[in-house]
């Protein structure tokens, strides 16, 4: 019997790109948020050796370049395990999209593998091999609302936003992440005259500013929790009036933005249009996720989200109404 694991997607609530590092990666600051859209990963271990990947979607590689292959190969060594690992990927998420689909698949495969083998790695070892495979993997070992620093692979749980109705639009546009980073470097190298948003010349200043904004948000959360005497997590934003009920609004009012929009929107104006439709349909916050092309909106009610998704579909854009997942929901639903 294979072990089934849900592989959830993520969105980025703000993403700031810093300097290009000597290792070829960019310094990043972002807040990841897991959402309920998911693939399903099935893992079984039999006699023999090697790793076999099956997937009906021809766009998913089934060779050693697959993230599931790469992480399972490392995990088998780390767990000192033998056997032939069969991984089946039931693809429901868009293959290329800014939703961390392939990264989530890899983490789900490793969690399923540990269950199948009845063996566990230490948490730091799991985080290490996840980071070796890609910058977007470790967040899926935390779930909920997650701060990402370094190249995005250094992850810290932050107080969870409540479950928020959400629309994810997945236009049929493939954005190359390395190319988007290169376009950003070009934009920054052209200097502050290109855009008002780049008037601060030093990349590290922009990173420090993101840190201060986030720190102010986090401390405002704990202050209002202290003042109101109750936990924030799980309070629906739709019922919110006071500060304690609006942690999301507090966050978006800090002005968090996704830097990738500045290079991806000029190239693909359709994506700017998707964001505009989401905002005009009442989104509290709308943004490109990662380097795209997935673009999402967060809504005050499920009804508003369902309507907004329908409106995008009328325009021929694939869109789904879903919800963000708190850390607790994420871990509860993973093995359901």
Catalytic residue among 39, 136, 160, 183: 136
List the one residue from 97, 98, 143, 152 that touches ligand C5P (CB under 6 A). 152
> How many Å apart are CA 199 and CA 196, to the nearest integer?
6
Applying the rule CB under 6 A, the residues between 42 and 81 that interact with ligand C5P are none
* Beta-bridge partners for 166: 298, 322
Q: Any idea which residue has 């779930």 for tokens?
A: 143
* Beta-bridge partners for 17: 28
Both tokens of residue 276? 């505009």
Active site residue 10: yes
Both tokens of residue 47? 């006699």
List the one residue from 94, 97, 134, 165 that touches ligand C5P (CB under 6 A). 134
Are the C-beta atoms of residues 18 and 204 closer than 8 Å to each other? Answer: yes
Binding string, residues 19-48; x marks residues near ligand C5P by CB under 6 A: ------xx-x--------------------
Pick from 39, 29, 31, 35: which is nearest to 7 by CA? 39
- Does position 181 interact with ligand C5P (CB under 6 A)? The reply is yes
Instruction: Pick between residue 178 and residue 269 the one whose CB is nearest to ligand C5P.
Output: 178
List the one residue from 178, 242, 269, 316 that touches ligand C5P (CB under 6 A). 178
Q: Are strands 84-90 and 51-55 parallel, antiparallel or unpaired?
A: parallel
| 3-state DSSP assignment of residue 100 | coil
> How many Å apart are CA 36 and CA 207, to the nearest integer?
29
* Beta-bridge partners for 52: 86
Instruction: Pick between residue 211 and residue 236 the one whose CB is nearest to ligand C5P.
Output: 211
CB of 181 to ligand C5P, least distance (A): 4
Beta strand ranges found along 82-192 (DSSP E) = 84-90, 145-149, 154-157, 165-169
Part in contact with ligand C5P (CB under 6 A); list of ranges 44-52, 128-136, 139-147, 240-248: 128-136
- Does position 247 interact with ligand C5P (CB under 6 A)? The reply is no
- Does position 151 interact with ligand C5P (CB under 6 A)? The reply is yes
Instruction: Pick between residue 179 and residue 239 the one whose CB is nearest to ligand C5P.
Output: 179
List the one residue from 62, 177, 228, 328 that touches ligand C5P (CB under 6 A). 177
Pick from 3, 15, 83: which is nearest to 48 by CA? 83
Count interface residues toward ligand C5P (CB under 6 A). Answer: 11
Catalytic residues: 10, 136
Where do contacts with ligand C5P occur on this chain (CB under 6 A)?
25-26, 28, 134-136, 151-152, 177-178, 181
């Amino acid at each position: 019997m294979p072990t089934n694991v849900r592989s959830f997607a993520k969105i980025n609530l703000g993403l700031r790109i810093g300097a290009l590092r000597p290792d070829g990666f960019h310094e990043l600051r972002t807040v990841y948020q897991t959402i309920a859209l998911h693939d399903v990963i099935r893992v079984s271990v039999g006699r023999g050796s090697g790793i076999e990947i099956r997937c009906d979607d021809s766009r998913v590689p089934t060779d050693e370049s697959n993230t599931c292959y790469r992480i399972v190969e490392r995990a088998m060594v780390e767990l000192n395990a033998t056997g032939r690992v069969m991984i089946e990927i039931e693809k429901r998420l868009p293959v290329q999209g800014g939703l961390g689909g392939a990264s989530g698949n890899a983490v789900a495969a490793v969690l399923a593998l540990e269950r199948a083998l009845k063996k566990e790695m230490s948490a730091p070892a799991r985080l290490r091999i996840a980071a070796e495979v890609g910058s977007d993997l470790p967040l899926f070992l935390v779930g909920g609302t997650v701060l990402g620093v370094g190249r995005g692979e250094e992850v810290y749980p932050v107080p969870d936003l409540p479950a928020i109705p959400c629309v994810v639009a997945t236009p049929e546009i493939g954005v190359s992440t390395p190319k988007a980073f290169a376009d950003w470097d070009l934009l920054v190298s052209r200097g502050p005259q290109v855009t008002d948003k780049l008037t601060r010349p030093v990349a590290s200043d922009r990173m420090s500013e993101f840190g201060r904004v986030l720190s102010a948000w986090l401390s405002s959360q704990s202050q209002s929790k202290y003042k109101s005497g109750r936990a924030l997590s799980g309070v629906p934003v739709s019922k919110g009036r006071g500060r304690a009920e609006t942690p999301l609004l507090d966050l978006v009012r800090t002005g968090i933005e996704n830097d990738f929009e500045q290079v991806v929107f000029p190239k693909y104006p359709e994506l700017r249009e998707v964001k505009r439709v989401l905002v005009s349909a009442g989104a509290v916050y709308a943004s490109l996720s990662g380097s795209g092309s997935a673009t999402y909106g967060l809504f005050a009610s499920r009804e508003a989200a369902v309507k907004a998704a329908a409106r995008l579909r009328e325009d021929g854009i694939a869109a789904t109404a879903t919800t963000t997942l708190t850390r607790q929901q994420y871990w509860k639903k993973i093995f359901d």
